[in-house]
Amino acid sequence: MLPCFPLTFQTNCNRYMGYKTHSLQDMRQQAAIAAKVFLQRDYTNGTVCQFQTKFPSELETRIDKQQFEETVRTLNNLYAEAEKLGSQSYIEGCLACLTAYTIFLCMETHYEKVLKKIAKYIQEQNDKIYAPRGLLLTDPIERGLRVVSCALVFAVARIFRLLRSVTYK
């Protein structure tokens, strides 16, 4: 259960400096401030890699709940497919054992193939759905399959433009 707490800019902040010059208030660069939300793992079915589908409240203003849950559900299904204990994994395991696991030097494991699929899916989702809304999903493999992190990107230039329009009225 994620407790609701107000997003503050001091905590969970990452900043990067851009090169664009801005004539507004002597700002020579445009900063994008990212706050991050972390989706934790769901262990109700054991140690299989599944993520919680609970919709974080910080994303309420950014994205549709259904859309987000659909993304997480698809991710969960892909991970379940990777870790499935079926005839394919048994055959792969036995064959690898007979060759003293040297077969993995030339062959990709089923899990690695699915991980590539997952990476492609996340990139696709970012390009089509999340980036236009100012969100960025990070592939959980980069965080040790512990969390799915979703970065909320704020463009400061936009905020300053809004402030300027309010001041000059």
Partner 1 sequence: MSAVMITRKVRKWEKLPGKNTFCCDGRVMMARQKGVFYLTLFLIIGTCSLFFAFECPYLAVHLSPAIPVFAVLLFLFVMAMLLRTSFSDPGVLPRALPEEATFIEMEIEAANGNVPAGQRPPPRIRNVQINNQIVKLKYCYTCKIFRPPRASHCSICDNCVDRFDHHCPWVGNCVGKRNYRYFYLFTLSLSLLTIYIFTFDIVHVVMRKYQTHRCIVWPASPETGFTVLEVLVCFFTLWSVVGLTGFHTYLISLNQTTNEDIKGSWSGKNRVQNPYSHKNIIKNCCEVLCGPTYPSVLDRRGLMQDISPVSATSATLSSSSSVNPVPQTTKTTAPLIPNEHTPDDAKPNIAASVQASPSPKEEHPSASKLPPLASPETDVETSIAKDKTH
**Is there a contact between 63 and 130 (Cβ–Cβ < 8 Å)?**
yes
- Residues numbered 3 to 32 that lie near partner 1 (CB under 8 A) are 3, 5, 11-19, 28-29, 31-32
Helix (H) or strand (E) holding 92: helix 87-98
137 near partner 1, rule: CB under 8 A? no
126 near partner 1, rule: CB under 8 A? no
* 20 contact partners, CB below 8 Å, separation of at least 6: 29, 30
Q: What is the CA 123 to chain-centroid distance, rounded?
A: 9
DSSP category for residue 51: B
112 near partner 1, rule: CB under 8 A? yes
Residues that bind partner 1 (CB under 8 A): 2-3, 5, 11-19, 28-29, 31-32, 34, 36, 38, 41, 43-47, 82-85, 89-90, 92-94, 96-97, 100-102, 104, 109-112, 115, 138, 141-147, 149
